Structure 1
Amino acid sequence: MPDLAAAKAYYDQILPMAGFEEFFAADEEFSYRPANGKPGTYLFFYPAQKPGDYSRHRTGLQHLAFTVRTRSAVEALHARAIELGSLILHAPRHFPEYPAP
């Protein structure tokens, strides 16, 4: 499952910057949870069950937002994503329509 291993290597670098830590990892799946025992959403990753290229126009999770404490944390995460070769569709910006934590 090389795609799953590549995904884990990527998210191991990104998700701690967004306040997550590894929950568990196995050959067929891996997951993260909010760090430091904080409440929140757990994230689980599984391999694709059917072959096919990714498309943001297909059914499935297409967008996930994280709350971080500072603008500098947003900028650091964005910079790391660029360093990792991520496709950035939109640069970070303020969304006044969403409440601040």
Structure 2
Amino acid sequence: MPLFDHLSVAVADLDRAVAEFDPVLTALGLARETGDGNGAAWYAEGETEFILMPAREPGSGPHRHGRVGWQHLAFAVDSRAEVDRMHQVAVDAGWSVVREPKTYPRFSDRYYASFVENADGIRIEFMHNPPQQTQ
């Protein structure tokens, strides 16, 4: 059973958000389903769904990091090189860099991540934090 079934995100401009999210989500292995014009959805392994839908309150964005609500979604990837690659995919799709890929020793000496944000203030992280080596 997946950790979560679906995640829905409201956006100001659906076409723009699809253009921003599609390269990132497909690079992460999610498959896009053609929608009915009222939203867009991507699936992982046929179970977990990521949904974009138009905001019900036009002009209510963008979201501001640190306020009540969404802070960020972290995507765990298999290597530091994959963090770098996903970071570049997002930047090429129009995401703004919040933090370039780097090590975050305050989490662990193995924690390597980058943060990007789109025009709606939606922030995502690409991270790699391998298990500590045991001897």
* TM-score using structure 1 length: 0.74
Determine helix, strand or coil for the equivalent of 1:32.
strand
Consecutive unaligned residues of structure 1, counting only runs of 5 or more, are: none
Distance (Å, rounded) in 1 between the aligned partners of 2:50 and 2:82: 20
Moved >4 Å (runs of 4+): none
Residues 70, 48 of structure 1: alpha-carbon distance in 2 compared, 3 angstrom cutoff = same
Determine helix, strand or coil for the equivalent of 1:72.
helix
Larger fraction in strand: 2
Determine helix, strand or coil for the equivalent of 2:74.
coil
* TM-score using structure 2 length: 0.58
Q: Which residue of 1 aligns with 2:52?
A: 45
Distance (Å, rounded) in 1 between the aligned partners of 2:21 and 2:130: 25
Number of residues of Structure 1 aligned to a counterpart in Structure 2: 98
Distance (Å, rounded) in 2 between the aligned partners of 1:59 and 1:25: 29
Larger fraction in helix: 1
Residues 48, 58 of structure 1: alpha-carbon distance in 2 compared, 3 angstrom cutoff = farther
Q: What percent of counterpart residues are identical?
A: 28
Q: Which residue of 1 aligns with 2:121?
A: none
Question: Larger radius of gyration, structure 1 or 2?
Answer: 2
Q: Provide Cα deviations, 1:5-57, integer angstroms capped at 9, x if missing partner.
A: 110111111111222221442211111111xx276x42111111112231224
